[in-house]
Amino acid sequence: MNRKPNLKDVAELAGVSAITVSRVLTHPDKVAAKSRLKVEQAIATLGYIRNHAASALASNRSGVLAVIIPSLSNIVFNEVLQGIYSAVKPHQLQVILGDCHYSPLEEEKLIATLLSQAPEGLILTGTDQTDYARKLLQNAGIPVVQLMELTDHPIDINIGFSHFAAGKAMTEHLLARGYRHIGFLGARMDPRTQHRLAGFRKAIEDWNATSRPESLGAEPQSARCEPYVVTTSQSSSIKLGGQLLQAVMAESQGQCDAVFCCNDDLALGALFAARQMNLRIPADLAIAGFNDLEASALVDPGITSVASPRFAMGQQAVDLLMQKASGAQTEFSPIDVGYSIMVRGST
């Protein structure tokens, strides 16, 4: 016999019916121990492997979880993925992963493609899906998680934190430390990065409004905060951080005394570049980052950064997805997992 063995082959060898073999595979406890043993032996002898396509077709359960991330190269999403994989284990799910390269259009195409696998659920990053994508998902009738970021109008389940609030809080931290010429370094301005920038702007706006109310007239220059924003659509890297630091220094004519980098890669690059410019940190220049990568804590001085529970987010996404898939609950309101500012020597 050359072709791959199927259920029937196993059944014949074991002297039972096909359906009994099927049961051994799915609900072993619903089969008498004696039959089960015979079947298990037959399976081993034949090297039988169940045909997933047939199983999925007949049972209408694909055993697949679809996940779309914006980038494979960004370690941040890896940590989320690890959470997803760890949580998926007990559920007998296979993960099909797509990388949409930060593009909502690519994401839309991927969603269409992945939906053909009839996944049990779908995990997306961010909340900026195209209208058509949202429609696809609504029709699909499967639970969907939008991860990493919060929105008032989630497609379904939403788990994340406010990048606006985090950006604002970090900027307030710099203001509280006395910095008044603060630069924002941004790369690959995806929605979350833009929210961080918006938070940055709001913090400074609030600060200037408070410390220098128009009704009171002029105040000492030092009280007012001067923002410098340098962004690029290039994708983020350590090297780019150094280049952006030079750019902001040029733009501010050397006035800039603190930079808030939209992520830790940029912050590391800024730190390395600042050293070569003989800037003392944090005396001459403060550096703040985002994501709290391992390296940020270990360089000298450590980089102040925003931490968030990425692994846990991934886990929770799967957990809620599976809860919903099993019909336990139908509505979850957006879940804010929060963030925390890790203050280190760089500020």
Partner DNA sequence: TTGAAAGCGATACCAT
Partner DNA sequence: ATGGTATCGCTTTCAA
| Residues engaged in binding DNA (CB under 7 A) | 3-4, 6-8, 16-23, 25-26, 30-32, 34-36, 48, 50-51, 54-55, 57-61
- Judged by beta carbon, residue 35 or residue 78, the one nearer DNA is 35
Measured CA to CA in angstroms, residue 222 lies from 147, 216, 260 at distances of 40, 16, 19
What are the backbone dihedrals phi and psi of residue 224, each rounded to the nearest 5 degrees, phi first? -80, 145
**Rounded CA gap, 81 and 96, in Å?**
11
In angstroms, give the least distance from the CB of 237 to its own copies: 6
- Judged by beta carbon, residue 78 or residue 103, the one nearer its own copies is 78
Q: What is the DSSP letter of 90?
A: G
What are the backbone dihedrals phi and psi of residue 186, each rounded to the nearest 5 degrees, phi first? -130, 135
Q: Which does 6 bind (CB under 5 to 8 A by kind): DNA, its own copies, none?
A: DNA
Please enumerate in sequence order all residues whose Cβ is within 8 A of that of 121, keeping only pairs 6 or more positions apart, or say none.
Answer: 65, 66, 142, 143, 144, 145, 318, 321, 322, 324, 325
**Rounded CA gap, 275 and 268, in Å?**
11
In angstroms, give the least distance from the CB of 23 to DNA: 7
Q: Which does 238 bind (CB under 5 to 8 A by kind): its own copies, DNA, none?
A: its own copies
Determine the distance from the C-alpha atom of residue 139 to the mean position of all C-alpha atoms in its chain, rounded to a whole number: 24
Pick the closest to residue 256 from 190, 307, 184, 309 (CA basis).
Answer: 184
Contact 301, 345 (CB under 8 A): yes
In angstroms, give the least distance from the CB of 2 to DNA: 12
In angstroms, give the least distance from the CB of 187 to its own copies: 14
Q: Which does 299 bind (CB under 5 to 8 A by kind): its own copies, DNA, none?
A: its own copies
Contact residues toward its own copies (CB under 8 A) are 4, 47, 49-57, 62, 72-73, 75, 78-79, 81-82, 85, 94-97, 99, 112-118, 135-136, 139-141, 237-239, 242, 268-269, 272, 275-276, 294-295, 298-300
Pick the closest to residue 192 from 163, 213, 221, 168 (CA basis).
Answer: 163
In angstroms, give the least distance from the CB of 319 to DNA: 23
Q: Which does 16 bind (CB under 5 to 8 A by kind): its own copies, DNA, none?
A: DNA
Q: Which does 275 bind (CB under 5 to 8 A by kind): DNA, its own copies, none?
A: its own copies
In angstroms, give the least distance from the CB of 47 to DNA: 12
Q: Which does 62 bind (CB under 5 to 8 A by kind): its own copies, DNA, none?
A: its own copies
Q: Which does 37 bind (CB under 5 to 8 A by kind): its own copies, DNA, none?
A: none
- Judged by beta carbon, residue 50 or residue 224, the one nearer DNA is 50
- Judged by beta carbon, residue 242 or residue 309, the one nearer its own copies is 242
The number of residues making up the chain comes to 347
Following DSSP, what letter does each residue of 249-303 receive, concatenated? HHHTTT---EEEESSHHHHHHHHHHHHHTT--TTTT-EEE-SS--HHHHHSSSPP
